[in-house]
Amino acid sequence: MTAFKFLMQYVKRHKLSYILGVITLFIVDFANLYIPELTGEVTDGLSDRTLGMDGVLKLVLEILLLGLTLAVGRFFWRYFIFGSARTIEKEIRDDMFAHLEKMDVEYFNSHKTGDLMTRFTSDLNSVRMSIGPAIISIFDATVMALMVILKMMAYVSVRLTLLTLIPMLIIMVGEIYYGKVMHQKYKARQEAVSDLTDFVQEGFSGIRVIKAFVRERHQLREFAKANKNAMDKNLTIARWQSVVNPLLTVIIGVSSLITLLYGGYLALVGDITLGRFVAFHQYVNMLVWPMIACGDAINMFSQGFASARRLNEVFSEQPEISDTEDTKPIYSLSGNIRFNDLTFIHKGMSEPTLKDITLDVPAGTTLAIIGRTGNGKSTLVNLLLHLYNTKPGMILLDGEDINSIPLQTLRENIAYVPQDNFLFSDTLASNIAFGTHEKSMERIVEASRAACIHDNIIAFPEGYDTVVGERGVTLSGGQKQRSSIARALIKDAPILILDDALSAVDTDTEEHILENLKKTRAGKTNIIIAHRVSTIQNADVIMVLEDGKAAEIGSHRQLMEKGGIYKEMFEKQQLEAEIGEQKAALRRDIEGVSAKGATV
Q: Are residues 546 and 504 in the same domain?
A: yes
CA angle 329, 330, 332 (to 5 degrees): 155
Do the domain assignments include residue 108? yes
Answer yes or no: are the C-beta atoms of 271 and 157 closer than 8 Å: yes
Do the domain assignments include residue 588? no
State the pLDDT at residue 302.
Answer: 79
Q: Are residues 351 and 245 in the same domain?
A: no
Q: Which amino acid is at 85?
A: A
Answer yes or no: are the C-beta atoms of 290 and 145 closer than 8 Å: yes
Question: What Å distances lie between residue 38 and 25, 32, 153, 265, 535, CA to CA?
Answer: 21, 11, 16, 22, 92
Q: Rg of the chain's alpha carbons, rounded to an integer?
A: 37
User: What CA–CA distance (Å, rounded) separates 455 from 466?
Assistant: 14
Do the domain assignments include residue 327? no
Q: Are residues 352 and 294 in the same domain?
A: no
Q: DSSP labels for 509-541?
A: HHHHHHHHHHHHTTTSEEEEEES-HHHHTTSSE
Q: Are residues 361 and 307 in the same domain?
A: no
Q: Are residues 243 and 352 in the same domain?
A: no
Answer yes or no: are the C-beta atoms of 39 and 279 closer than 8 Å: yes
Q: Are residues 507 and 552 in the same domain?
A: yes
Answer yes or no: are the C-beta atoms of 449 and 483 closer than 8 Å: no
State the pLDDT at residue 527.
Answer: 93
Strand-pair category, 525-530 with 495-499: parallel
Q: Are residues 195 and 140 in the same domain?
A: yes
Of 286, 316, 346, the residue that ends a domain is 316
User: What CA–CA distance (Å, rounded) separates 401 from 384?
Assistant: 11
Question: What Å distances lie between residue 581 and 532, 575, 584, 593, CA to CA?
Answer: 16, 10, 5, 18
How many other β-carbons are positioned within 10 Å of the β-carbon of residue 304?
25
**What is the Cβ-side half-sphere exposure of residue 179, based on CA atoms within 13 angstroms?**
17
**What is the Cβ-side half-sphere exposure of residue 409, based on CA atoms within 13 angstroms?**
18
Q: Are residues 241 and 192 in the same domain?
A: yes
User: What CA–CA distance (Å, rounded) separates 141 from 297?
Assistant: 8
State the pLDDT at residue 234.
Answer: 84
Q: Are residues 385 and 498 in the same domain?
A: yes
| Residue among 304, 312, 306 nearest 99 (CA) | 312
State the pLDDT at residue 524.
Answer: 92
State the pLDDT at residue 16.
Answer: 92
Q: Are residues 361 and 427 in the same domain?
A: yes
Domain that holds residue 224: 3-316
Find the helix or strand (DSSP H, E) in which 571 lies. helix 565-599
State the pLDDT at residue 526.
Answer: 93
How many other β-carbons are positioned within 10 Å of the β-carbon of residue 351?
9
Low-confidence ranges of the chain (pLDDT < 70): 1, 36-37, 40-41, 43-52, 155-156, 172, 175-176, 179, 183, 208, 212-213, 279, 281, 283, 285-286, 288-289, 291-292, 295, 577, 580-600
Do the domain assignments include residue 242? yes
How many other β-carbons are positioned within 10 Å of the β-carbon of residue 113?
13
Q: What is the count of structural domains for the chain?
A: 2
State the pLDDT at residue 86.
Answer: 92
Q: Are residues 421 and 473 in the same domain?
A: yes
The CATH number assigned to the domain holding 561 equals: 3.40.50.300
User: What CA–CA distance (Å, rounded) separates 508 from 489?
Assistant: 20
Strand-pair category, 525-530 with 414-417: unpaired
Contacts for 585 with CB less than 8 Å, ≥ 6 apart: none
Contacts for 592 with CB less than 8 Å, ≥ 6 apart: none
Do the domain assignments include residue 594? no
Question: Does pTM surpass 0.85?
Answer: no
State the pLDDT at residue 401.
Answer: 92
Answer yes or no: are the C-beta atoms of 275 and 43 closer than 8 Å: yes
SS3 321: coil
State the pLDDT at residue 584.
Answer: 63
Question: What Å distances lie between residue 112 and 47, 87, 119, 273, CA to CA?
Answer: 71, 27, 11, 67
CA angle 57, 59, 64 (to 5 degrees): 90
Contacts for 385 with CB less than 8 Å, ≥ 6 apart: 410, 411, 414, 416, 497
Q: Are residues 534 and 503 in the same domain?
A: yes
Do the domain assignments include residue 586? no
Do the domain assignments include residue 269? yes
How many other β-carbons are positioned within 10 Å of the β-carbon of residue 210?
17
Do the domain assignments include residue 505? yes
Report pLDDT digits (tens) over 514-563.
899 888 888 899 999 988 888 888 899 999 998 889 889 999 999 998 88
